[in-house]
Structure 1
Amino acid sequence: MTSPLRWLVLGATGFVGSAVVAELRGRGLSVIALAAPRLASAAVSAPELVAEARASGAIATLTSAFAGVDIVVNAAGLATPGDGESPALTGANALLPAVISLAAREAGVTRFVHLSSASVQGHRRVIDESSDRAPFSAYSRSKALGEEVLELLALDSGDAASASASIVTVRATSVQGPSRPTTTSFVKVARSPLASVASPGTAPTPVSSINALAWFVVETGSCPTAVPSLVLQPWEGLSVSDVLSAAGGRKPRSLPQWLCRTVLKSGYVVSRLLGERLHGPIRRVELMWFGQEQTPGWAQTAGLLPEPAVTSVLQAARGQRP
């Protein structure tokens, strides 16, 4: 009889981490919840970050914590789309994944699942599982660097090639949850006169649920066969109009596409003049109006499609509003 897998989740008290821990415990699986070390870095390239990671004293601490663990999930990081560049942002989203990967290798972990963001592909109309990245903000650049350092480490397995942990990066999309501040803000917009879509409002949206993401992370981590090094959270099947209706309880207004594009173009120009300070909010408006399509990926091929839950999550968030 095969022994049950032993899991460890870093960032276990955060939005995503707590959901992954709850999913694991709901399945009766053994999981260790661990706070991630706080790291800072002024590095601007993947090779610099890898060198910095190799010299980090945090490796020994994490290697000890990972002893006897089969699967490590990194749900830690700074989710601050509107903030500017900072050593803390780079440390949390780019240096930490490298340190975890090196520690997982030392400890003999079987699989390391890292949570990234689809924002690394920027404004492209269709997001996918390729290594093409076009980050547009400090946050998305830090997440892109995190992906790059893991790619670099996967290529450089050192002397322990046969024992190296399988590194899997999961690109999460626009994840919502009833208690998330971002979701609360989205509900406010959806219930206001600002709720609108670019005509005709049928564009697919990357808005997704924390329920589906947690399920997908656990399925990815426990998959008995090889998993690609980069996978995309599956689409939950909704359009831009669908999610606004679920969050606001009414149909959004439809705006001419030319007007929406003009407003966005002007907004990004102003934001660049202000040091990208408005990039996060403007990007959220862009996604509300135009959504973003995604290519069916490994999850569909493997038959690992979660039960869509974003409608119920948004309705629950709306129900919490006074």
Structure 2
Amino acid sequence: MSWLVLGGSGFVGSEVLRALRAAGVDAVPAAAPRLVTAADTPEALVAEAALLDGAGLRAAMAGHSVVVNAAGLATPSSGDVQALLGANALLPAVVARAAAAAGVGRVIHLSSAAVQGRTPVLDATDTVHPFSAYSRSKALGEQSIDRVAADEPALSVVTIRATSVQGRGRPTTAALARLARSPLASVASPGSARSPITSVEALAGLVLAVGRYAGPVPSRVLQPWEGLTVRTVLEAAGGRPRILPAALCRLAVGSGYALSGLLGGRLDGHVRRVELMWFGQDQVPGWAEEQGIPPAPRVREVLARAQDRADDGGAPID
């Protein structure tokens, strides 16, 4: 079995490559084309994908059994809507079309649980509630690749919804370690809510398991919970979070979203990060747990490494 990893030089793609090679899988990286688009519906995205010349991608995919689409823009605060749509919504459709033409057996598309927004419990259904330009582009990417897959019955297309992935070299991980050790570190009482914080190593392990699975795989797979609560996340990163009254936290979050609404939603991302720190986000057990193949939890190690780097004087973690 030979694998091609699009975006193999990026944060997630490079870890996927490392995990594949460590498992003895023949895997090579490839760069994805840079796309921009104004199309903002699944129908328009699929139609545009059909007009693009995918010869370069088809040639790169030839002879590979599995293609992993780890390319895209992981920039939740970006305001460049056309770039987000090109990388996160149009590219998945282009990849799926090229893979079908190249005779690839399975495409694994990496998406984000952000597509479900503030829903209390994450799942692997096609229900989405995007709340930002980034999450909307990822939701459209899922919908556009689904439409291509529906027309290509010989191609297995699986979307993995990654949760809040942390790891070495990611600025958000360094920022989380700094926050944990700051006076702002706090959680809503009692602090036992599940946190969606996960590790890039576990995500790579899930990609490996999905690609190797011999039977049918559902169209969406949710990255499993790694066992941390909102309190233990901050503690693992070296913090001693304060426990705040839950009612006060809910009032603050509601006020934050109200203010953001007056500003055209510009503060939604910042308010959402605080909400996740205080309240976390639950998730249902998914396909990997049902099959007994969830990846080994690694997030405690990731956060401990980030804490150690902070102890070394804030040295970069990449």
TM-score, L = length of structure 1: 0.94
Does residue 285 (structure 1) correspond to residue 274 (structure 2)? The answer is: yes
Secondary structure of 2:289's partner?
helix
Counterpart of 1:123 in structure 2: which amino acid?
R
Using the alignment, how far apart are the partners of 1:272 and 1:25 within structure 2? Answer: 47
- Structure 1: give runs of 5+ residues left out of the alignment: none
Using the alignment, how far apart are the partners of 1:62 and 1:271 within structure 2? Answer: 41
Using the alignment, how far apart are the partners of 2:48 and 2:276 within structure 1? Answer: 36
Judge conservation of contact 1:82–1:277 (CA < 8 Å) in 2.
no
What's the offset of the Cα at 1:268?
1.7
Q: 1:228 is matched with which residue?
A: 218
Using the alignment, how far apart are the partners of 1:279 and 1:16 within structure 2? Answer: 25
What's the offset of the Cα at 1:271?
2.2
Q: 1:128 is matched with which residue?
A: 123
Q: 1:168 is matched with which residue?
A: 158
Secondary structure of 1:320's partner?
helix
Does residue 118 (structure 1) correspond to residue 113 (structure 2)? The answer is: yes
Out of 112, 122, 145, which is 1:150 matched to? 145
Counterpart of 1:261 in structure 2: which amino acid?
R
Counterpart of 1:182 in structure 2: which amino acid?
T
Does residue 198 (structure 1) correspond to residue 194 (structure 2)? The answer is: no
Judge conservation of contact 2:114–2:135 (CA < 8 Å) in 1.
yes
What's the offset of the Cα at 1:274?
2.9
Out of 84, 100, 104, which is 2:95 matched to? 100
Using the alignment, how far apart are the partners of 1:185 and 1:250 within structure 2? Answer: 13
Using the alignment, how far apart are the partners of 1:78 and 1:269 within structure 2? Answer: 28
Using the alignment, how far apart are the partners of 2:10 and 2:138 within structure 1? Answer: 17
Q: 2:316 is matched with which residue?
A: none
Counterpart of 1:108 in structure 2: which amino acid?
G
Does residue 32 (structure 1) correspond to residue 31 (structure 2)? The answer is: no
Work out the number of aligned pairs and report it: 311
Q: 2:177 is matched with which residue?
A: 187
Secondary structure of 2:165's partner?
strand
Using the alignment, how far apart are the partners of 1:43 and 1:95 within structure 2? Answer: 8
Deviates more, 1:306-315 or 1:106-115: 306-315
What's the offset of the Cα at 1:152?
1.3
Q: 2:7 is matched with which residue?
A: 11
Judge conservation of contact 1:84–1:277 (CA < 8 Å) in 2.
no
What's the offset of the Cα at 1:273?
3.0
Deviates more, 1:112-121 or 1:78-87: 78-87
Q: 1:48 is matched with which residue?
A: 44
Deviations along 1:258-281, whole A, 9 cap, x unmatched?
111111112222223333322222
- Matches for 1:237-248 after TM superposition, within 5 Å: 237-247=227-237
Q: 1:250 is matched with which residue?
A: 239
Deviations along 1:27-80, whole A, 9 cap, x unmatched?
1211110111000110110000000000012x1110111000000000011011
Q: 2:17 is matched with which residue?
A: 21
Using the alignment, how far apart are the partners of 2:235 and 2:93 within structure 1? Answer: 41
Using the alignment, how far apart are the partners of 1:85 and 1:277 within structure 2? Answer: 13
Judge conservation of contact 2:198–2:225 (CA < 8 Å) in 1.
yes
Deviations along 1:123-158, whole A, 9 cap, x unmatched?
01100011110001110000000011112112223x
Judge conservation of contact 1:179–1:317 (CA < 8 Å) in 2.
no
Secondary structure of 2:107's partner?
strand
What's the offset of the Cα at 1:250?
3.4
Q: 1:304 is matched with which residue?
A: 293
Q: 2:208 is matched with which residue?
A: 218
Counterpart of 1:270 in structure 2: which amino acid?
L
TM-score, L = length of structure 2: 0.96
Counterpart of 2:81 in structure 1: which amino acid?
S
Out of 62, 67, 83, which is 1:67 matched to? 62
- Structure 2: give runs of 5+ residues left out of the alignment: 314-318
What's the offset of the Cα at 1:85?
5.0
Does residue 316 (structure 1) correspond to residue 305 (structure 2)? The answer is: yes
Percent of aligned pairs with the same residue?
56
Using the alignment, how far apart are the partners of 1:44 and 1:250 within structure 2? Answer: 42
Using the alignment, how far apart are the partners of 1:275 and 1:23 within structure 2? Answer: 42
Judge conservation of contact 1:260–1:289 (CA < 8 Å) in 2.
yes
Secondary structure of 1:7's partner?
strand
Using the alignment, how far apart are the partners of 2:104 and 2:151 within structure 1? Answer: 17
Using the alignment, how far apart are the partners of 2:291 and 2:39 within structure 1? Answer: 37
Using the alignment, how far apart are the partners of 1:12 and 1:280 within structure 2? Answer: 27
Secondary structure of 2:63's partner?
coil
Judge conservation of contact 2:114–2:130 (CA < 8 Å) in 1.
yes
Secondary structure of 1:214's partner?
helix
